[in-house]
Structure 1
């Protein structure tokens, strides 16, 4: 009976050791995955900041006006080119 108890205890010890090894492996794997996700999040934050900077520089009034003049051949409104509409006039 003592041999059977020793075998049972040995089996339990081996199963416990294998369970410990498996849980340590899973913890390491999850930690590596977490580090990768954090690095990706940091990279995305950097890209977001760059995109916000680009957007602010592209939305400046002077740049938009220069682009309208250059690409669309637009000019500023002058008083001699302005037409006024009066109600009741024929």
Structure 2
């Protein structure tokens, strides 16, 4: 009787040990995946900050006006060059 009990306890001990090893392995894999996801999130945060900086730089009115003058040869509208349309006038 004690032989069967010893064998049963030994089998249960081995099964529990294997379950523990498997749980630790899965835990390590999930931790590695978490670290990779956090690194990717940090990289995306850096890229987002760079894009916001670029947007603020490219959207400044002085830069837009300078590019319009230089690249498109545009000039500011003066009252002398303005043409007004009225309804009903033909």
TM norm structure 1? 0.88
Moved over 4 A (4+): 86-90
Post-superposition shift, 1:86? 4.4
Aligned to 2:32: 32
Aligned to 1:61: 61
Post-superposition shift, 1:85? 3.3
Alpha-carbon spacing, 1:11–1:79, altered in 2? closer, same or farther (3 Å): same
Q: 5 Å matches for 1:46-57?
A: 46-57=46-57
Return 52-61 or 29-38, whichever deviates more. 29-38
Unaligned 5+ runs, structure 2: none
Aligned to 2:76: 76
TM norm structure 2? 0.88
Q: 5 Å matches for 1:12-27?
A: 12-27=12-27
Unaligned 5+ runs, structure 1: none
Cα deviation 1:33-62 (Å, max 9, x = unaligned): 111111111111111001000000000001
RMSD: 1.5
